[in-house]
Amino acid sequence: MVVQKERSGASSNPPEDWYRQAFSLDYLNLYAHRNIEEAKQSIRTVIAEARIGMGPVLDLCCGFGRHLTALREVLPNPLIGCDLSQELLLHARHTVHVDAFLVQGDMRRIPFASGVFEAILSFFTSFGYFPDDAENLQVLREVHRTLRKGGLFLFDFLNAPHVRNTLVPESEEWFDGIRVKQKRWIDETQSTVNKRVQFFDEERLVREHYERVKLYSPERLQTFFQETGLCVETVFGDYAGNDYQENSPRLIFMARKR
């Protein structure tokens, strides 16, 4: 497959704070296939491999709470969800029927005291949102700060080689009479995978937003974890718990705070 590439600074380049618009109620339609059942499958095997004490567990960037529902089926721990999007948190409060505490917060400044959590989860590519590596490193530093010593960090990220080989440049769907066009490309100068999502009422453009994620290699991420005091114990390549390979669909780290 030929992956579409664009130069840095192209007119379709996402804004730096793209995530403030992208995670709205439109997200629920775009990712409707990423439902609670899928979340249960993604968590079941990984959690079974983990050793988690009885302290609080944080779902960082919890979105509309599907992983919290999945976690409650396998963990008795106190559950907390944190996300920047008020819209998705409000939706979660009305649809997540488990005892979980939900709070708004920026993952670069997790709004909890140091050493609180027994485990932190970052699932479904909730990392690499910022153009500056230092800001993405800050997320890992906050994870380290808020974990207890020996606490577990489960990190589920895209696998860059797989993305490069399978990216679909364009697609089109319909939601409730609205035509949704998605364009995807890789910016090699910024090392990012990008998406533009446009919503049309007949032929009229109603709104659009962007997504952008850094294409960090497994080796680069390992370095980031080492720099921030997180020791990677296991690397999975999918939600079934298979070992990571270059063509694996996911890159999942099981790490602990040193």
pTM here?
0.91
Say which residues have a Cβ less than 8 Å from residue 186's Cβ, sequence separation at least 6.
3, 4, 5, 6, 163, 164, 167, 192, 193, 194, 215
In this prediction, residues 189-201 reach a mean pLDDT of 95
Please tell me whether residues 52 and 177 are part of one structural domain.
Answer: no
Query: Would you say residue 105 lies in a domain?
Result: yes
Question: For the ranges 34-38, 94-98, 141-145, 146-150, which has the lowest average pLDDT?
Answer: 34-38
- Counted domains in the chain: 2
> pLDDT by residue (tens digit) across 61-88?
999 998 999 999 999 999 999 999 999 9
Please tell me whether residues 79 and 182 are part of one structural domain.
Answer: no
- The backbone torsions φ and ψ at residue 45, rounded to the nearest 5 degrees and listed phi first, read -70, -40
The whole-angstrom separation of Cα 128 and Cα 136 is 6
Please tell me whether residues 184 and 226 are part of one structural domain.
Answer: no
What local confidence, expressed as pLDDT, does residue 34 receive? Answer: 63
Please tell me whether residues 97 and 180 are part of one structural domain.
Answer: no
Tokens (6 digits) for 109: 């400044």
- Domain boundaries, position 180: 162-213
Please tell me whether residues 113 and 136 are part of one structural domain.
Answer: yes
The whole-angstrom separation of Cα 245 and Cα 256 is 22
> pLDDT by residue (tens digit) across 129-167?
999 999 999 999 999 999 999 999 999 999 999 999 999
Residue with tokens 């533009």: 196
Q: What percent of the chain has pLDDT over 70?
A: 94
Please tell me whether residues 251 and 185 are part of one structural domain.
Answer: no
Tokens (6 digits) for 137: 């490193």
What local confidence, expressed as pLDDT, does residue 38 receive? Answer: 76
Q: What is the CATH number of the domain that holds 67?
A: 3.40.50.150
Short-list 104, 31, 94, CA closest to 61: 104
Cα pseudo-dihedral 132, 138, 143, 147, rounded to 10: 170
Confidence band (pLDDT; 50, 70, 90) for 220? Answer: very high
Tokens (6 digits) for 80: 């907390």
